Amino acid sequence: MKRIAFAAVAVLAGAFAATASPAAVAAPEPSADLLAAMQRDLGLTAGQAADRLRQESAAAVLQHVARGLAGDDFGGAWFDAATGKLVVGVTDEAKSQRLRRLGAEPRTVANSAGDLDSAKAKLDAEKAPAEVTGWFVDTRANVVTVTAKRGQAQAAQAFAAKAGALAKVVETDEAPRLLKDIRGGDAYYINNAGRCSVGFAVQGGFVTAGHCGSSGDSVAGADRTALGAFEGSSFPGNDYGWVKANSSWTPTAKVNHYGGADVVVSGSTEAAVGASICRSGSTTGWHCGTVSAKNQTVNYQEGSVSGLTRTDVCAEPGDSGGSWVSGTQAQGVTSGGSGNCTSGGTTYFQPVNEILSAYNLTLVTG
CA distance 10 to 73: 15
**Could you tell me which of 21, 14, 78 has the C-alpha nearest to residue 54?**
21
Residue 12 to residue 33: CA distance in whole angstroms: 36
Q: Which of 320, 323, 326, 338 is catalytic?
A: 320
CB 136 within 8 A of CB 119: no
Count the Cβ atoms, other than its own, within 10 Å of residue 22.
17
Burial class of residue 141 (count of CB atoms within 10 Å of its CB; 0-12, 13-18, 19+)? middle
Residue tagged active-site, from 41, 186, 239, 319: 239
Taking alpha carbons only, the member of 284, 283, 270, 282 closest to residue 349 is 270
Task: Give the Å distances, CA to CA, from 94 to 2, 61, 99.
Answer: 17, 23, 10
Report how far apart the first and last C-alpha atoms of the chain are (Å, whole number).
41
> Of 138, 197, 211, 292, which is the active-site residue?
211
* Longest Cα–Cα distance in the chain: 62
For the chain, helix, strand, coil in percent to 5 are 30, 35, 35
Contact 102, 69 (CB under 8 A): yes
In the annotation, is 239 catalytic? yes
d(CA 255, CA 70): 36
Establish whether 211 is a catalytic residue. Answer: yes
- Is residue 257 part of the annotated active site? The answer reads no
Report the SS3 class of residue 206: strand
Catalytic residues: 211, 239, 320
